[in-house]
Amino acid sequence: MARASGVSRRIAALAAATFLCAGAPAVAQMATYQVPDAAKDADLVARGEYLAKAADCMPCHTGDKAKPFAGGLGLNTPFGVIYSPNITSDRSTGIGLWTYAEFVDAVRNGIRKDGAYLYPAMPFDAYAQISDDDMKALWAYVRRIPPIPNTPPANGLAFPFNVRLGMLAWRELFFDDSRFTPTAGKSAEWNRGAYLVNALGHCGDCHTPRNIMGATRGKAHFLGADVDGFWAPDIATAALKKDGWTADTLSTFLKTGSAPGKTSVFGPMAEVVHDSLGFLTDADRAAIVTYLFDSPPPRDVPAPQAASPLPAAVYSRAAALYVDNCAVCHMDKGAGRGDTVPALAGNPAVVAAEPYNIVMAVLGGLPTGGTYGAMPSFAGRLDDQQVADLANYVRTSWGNTAAPNVTASMVAAWRATAHVPDYGTQAASAFTCPDVGGAPGSDGPDPKAVAALSAMMAGGQRSIPMMVDAYNAASGNSGTGAVVDALTAAYCPVVARSDAPLWQKYAELRRFTLQAALEVSRRTVSGPVDTQSIAWALPVGPGLVLKEPKSLVGKLACPADDGKAVPADLSAAATKALGTPKPPMAGDAVSTLATTLYQQNPKARAADVANALIASYCRVVAAQPGTVADQNELLNGFAGQVVQALQLLPPRKSVVEVPARPAPAPAAAAPARK
């Protein structure tokens, strides 16, 4: 529904876009809206026709005046010719087979019926603000445009500008898909004018200069721009007043194309007046004038960046990291690809208070699970600061409101867990312990401090917080990764001397290393991150790790059995399996209980199984007589045994780790795929 004027500047977005691979996003899901029959709701159709004129739809979609709305208008750009599509109700060459959802997705989101991105010749960035009621009226009108068979010529864009997926970068960095929101404190007439100017009329598309990516420059909003050899003048409030425009002269100009003592319309603006503005009601033109004489100052940054809590420099580099590494699979705005790649927007795993899961997903990747393909590891491509920036960007974008609490030190701690070989590798089969090297002040573990820790562990010491403190005191100010490496190197010989099978030795070392990383990384976060005040299992990549409570003397706050903390089906199964035990439970009984429940629920994640048992047992313990300290000790011991039993199990081969439409339960969240 865009006019030809200014298209060359919009298509400039392609020049700097990132071209990643072929493919298309899934069409957005929404409830199907059935427009009433025209005979029963002629008013809705008439209103839609009015809105189509306000949005200036017909001229751009008409190549032959004898075939209105049938497309074929050639739009010349620096990269070739783009032809407008047929939007009549023809079922073969038009949109006669489209649904309301597909129409909305094209107009407001820039995604056509087959899922491919529309080029920015279509001003969907402005139309995104159109209200639901107006979209229904537009659909009522458009679907009744008489069918006209017409197949426009193929676009004449040369590679790489013919790759529509190249729009990913532009959409991620600049496209704001939010609806129009009235401004508080302004009159109804002013807000109506703002809606007509910025949404339906998309005036800024021609009257605002664009950057190298083809996006309008926020700080230059309405300040004028070149449009196909004509100058679209400055229409900001200050310029209108300085040039002597009044409400009466501007209203007359918008209606007739000329104003006494001012100017007469020419160039592209003549078509706008003739085909659009001239049809508006006097009240709507007055609203436009009211808004233009009191338009707000321009934004300093694009809307997506303005909505981010990240500092400008962090946002810029993090957004680029997302486009370069993640967007090809997870798409712009973290929308995902239906049943093949999960959405990141609104994913509980992404917005959980504890950010460790998303960090480990980026560092370690994820295996194939269910309908999802494998996600590669980015540990060799991104450094600690880049992983932190990327994680914080994903946690705070597209409506996600998690705290940006990932630090480079935290990432370094979790990256160190990769030094433990995966089970099944040659190193794991031989149980080769990590080499101990380095010296005080170096990046590697201090060998003397590691030897001292190893002696402590051989003597039975297993308190990870105490050992972290001991290593820091012995080695000086060590990096978080070096601390985890040190504890792993110290514990490895202790595990190696056990009589356990090799796979179990690996699992035990892995369990210990994850606990060390959790302890170290939690020390890098300012402010609380725990969502549960009791001992709780956290999903970390495809595995899990035990989060111990901060207080061992506080009153137990057992999670409600409402399906939010853990899946309802697992909660019921755990409660049934647990029965009515008399605490404390023997370690072997706890391990058998956890293992059996895990095996009986092959699609459940280990963390969910653990938390279902912990929550159920918490309610049992809370009903027991005794002091609060006694209750905490009982629950913490049980939780530790459950998590350790599950950590020592061989990994599953085909578990669906990330739900396509995840339930709102941060504690039960699955790891995000990048």
What pLDDT digit, counting tens, does each position of 191-243 carry? 998 898 888 877 766 666 555 445 554 555 555 555 555 555 656 767 677 77
The DSSP line for 351-418 is H-SS-HHHHHHHHH-B--BTTBPPB---TTTS-HHHHHHHHHHHHHSTT--------HHHHHHHHGGG
pLDDT score at 441 = 55
Contacts by residues 402-405 (CB-CB < 8 Å, ≥ 24 positions apart): 402/350, 402/351, 402/352, 402/353, 402/355, 403/353, 403/355, 403/527, 403/529, 404/309, 404/310, 405/355, 405/525, 405/526, 405/527, 405/529
How many Cα atoms are found within 13 Å in the side-chain-facing hemisphere of 182? 9
For range 175-179, the mean pLDDT: 80
Backbone angles phi, psi at 585, to 5 degrees: -90, 145
pLDDT score at 467 = 92
Q: How many CB atoms lie within 10 A of CB 332?
A: 25
Could you tell me which residues are beta bridge partners of residue 543?
Answer: 540
Q: Which range has highest mean pLDDT (160-174, 300-314, 438-452, 573-587)? A: 573-587
Can you give the C-alpha Rg of the chain in angstroms? 31
- Name the pTM for this structure: 0.67
d(CA 552, CA 532): 13
274 pLDDT band (50/70/90 cuts)?
Answer: low
Of 332, 298, 284, the closest CA to residue 134 belongs to: 284
Asked whether 325 and 674 are in contact (CB, 8 A), the reply is yes
Q: Quick check: helix, strand or coil at residue 19?
A: coil
If phi > 0 it is left, if psi is from -120 to 50 it is alpha, else beta; for residue 222 that is left
Tokens 């901060």: give the residue. 550
pLDDT score at 126 = 85
Mode of pairing for the β-strands spanning 225-227 and 230-232: antiparallel
For range 460-472, the mean pLDDT: 89
d(CA 620, CA 608): 19
pLDDT per residue as tens digits for the range 374-386: 788 888 889 999 9
Of 104, 86, 108, the closest CA to residue 96 belongs to: 86
pLDDT score at 27 = 35
Asked whether 436 and 445 are in contact (CB, 8 A), the reply is yes
pLDDT score at 535 = 92
Asked whether 406 and 395 are in contact (CB, 8 A), the reply is yes
Task: Between 104 and 501, name the one with better pLDDT.
Answer: 104
Of 565, 537, 515, 513, the closest CA to residue 639 belongs to: 537
Task: Between 656 and 132, name the one with better pLDDT.
Answer: 132
For range 563-584, the mean pLDDT: 92
Question: Of all residues in the chain, what percent are helix, strand and coil, respectively (each to 5)?
Answer: 45, 5, 45
pLDDT per residue as tens digits for the range 46-62: 999 999 888 888 878 88
**Domain(s) of CATH 1.10.760: residues in the chain:** 188-292
pLDDT score at 558 = 93
**Position 665 pLDDT exceeds 80:** no
Task: Between 16 and 587, name the one with better pLDDT.
Answer: 587
What are the residues whose beta carbons fall under 8 Å from the beta carbon of 448, sequence distance 6 or more? 474
- Of all residues in the chain, what percent carry a pLDDT higher than 90? 26
**Position 11 pLDDT exceeds 60:** no
**Position 39 pLDDT exceeds 70:** no
For range 169-182, the mean pLDDT: 78
Of 461, 611, 631, the closest CA to residue 552 belongs to: 631
Asked whether 358 and 521 are in contact (CB, 8 A), the reply is no
pLDDT per residue as tens digits for the range 67-95: 988 888 876 655 567 788 888 989 989 89
Task: Between 583 and 26, name the one with better pLDDT.
Answer: 583
CA angle 15, 20, 23 (to 5 degrees): 110
pLDDT score at 79 = 54
Q: How far is CA 180 from CA 101, 108, 195, 199, in A?
A: 19, 12, 7, 7
**Structure tokens belonging to residue 113:** 């019926």
Of 437, 436, 444, 430, the closest CA to residue 506 belongs to: 430
- State whether CATH 1.25.10 applies to domain 188-292: no
**Position 513 pLDDT exceeds 70:** yes
Tokens 């005979």: give the residue. 39
d(CA 246, CA 241): 7
pLDDT score at 22 = 28
Q: How many CB atoms lie within 10 A of CB 393?
A: 25
d(CA 170, CA 12): 10
Asked whether 541 and 422 are in contact (CB, 8 A), the reply is no
574 pLDDT band (50/70/90 cuts)?
Answer: very high
pLDDT score at 166 = 54
Q: Quick check: helix, strand or coil at residue 48?
A: helix
Q: Provide the CA 80 distance to its chain's centre, in angstroms.
A: 33
99 pLDDT band (50/70/90 cuts)?
Answer: very high
544 pLDDT band (50/70/90 cuts)?
Answer: confident
pLDDT score at 307 = 77
d(CA 126, CA 205): 8
d(CA 50, CA 68): 16
The DSSP line for 60-127 is HTBSSTTSTTSB--EEEETTEEEEPPP-SS-TTTSSTT--HHHHHHHHHH-B-TTSPBPPTTS-HHHH
d(CA 215, CA 377): 32
pLDDT per residue as tens digits for the range 395-407: 999 989 999 999 9
Q: Which of 130-134, 511-515, 528-532, 596-600 has the lowest mean pLDDT?
A: 528-532
